[in-house]
Structure 1
Amino acid sequence: MADHTYKFNVKMSCSGCSGAVERVLKKLDGVSSYDISLANQEVIVKGSASYDTVLEKIKKTGKEVISGETVE
């Protein structure tokens, strides 16, 4: 399966918030890399996992996902 890059705008107010997102992404099959920017409220995820799967995992942390898109 081809790798995709997804960009999510996630409401995070502290390092605990970004840490929660990091923990779920670290465990998720099909994620090859991710970049979490607390300053930009942005999460970039690369891998073969589907958009919906990644979105669902981020939402399970309780963080509000403001928007998301497939970059490539």
Structure 2
Amino acid sequence: MPKYEFTVEMTCGGCSGAVERVLKKKEGIDNFEVDLEKKKVFVETSMTSDEVLEVLKKTGKATTYVGTA
């Protein structure tokens, strides 16, 4: 199962909490890790990177797909 890496413009616990909430709500996401300090989000899923990117953009934070981790 691919593990995708994204950069998300998170500045506080509220930002990382928003990321966690949208990922928990989405079916098909098996596992994820949020690194607030490095502004990174790692997602294990059978979804495409574009689909995950759209989910992360719902937070309103600037989000960029980096690649497979």
- Normalised TM-score (structure 1): 0.88
Moved more, 36-45 or 46-55: 46-55
Structure 1 segments unaligned to the other structure (5+ residues): none
* Alignment RMSD (CA, Å): 1.2
Asked if structure 2 preserves the Cα contact closer than 8 Å seen for 1:29 and 1:49, the reply is no
| Contact persistence 1:12–1:63 (CA under 8 A) | yes
Which amino acid letter does the alignment assign opposite residue 68 of structure 1? Y
Q: Distance in 2 between matches of 1:71 and 1:50?
A: 11
Identity %: 45
Letter paired with 1:70? G
- How does 1:1-72 map onto structure 2 within 5 Å? 3-65=1-63, 67-71=64-68
- Which ranges of 4 or more aligned residues in structure 1 deviate by more than 3 Å? none
- State the number of aligned residues: 69
Secondary structure of 2:66's match? strand
Compute the TM-score of the two structures, normalised by the length of structure 2: 0.91
**5+ residue gaps, structure 2:** none
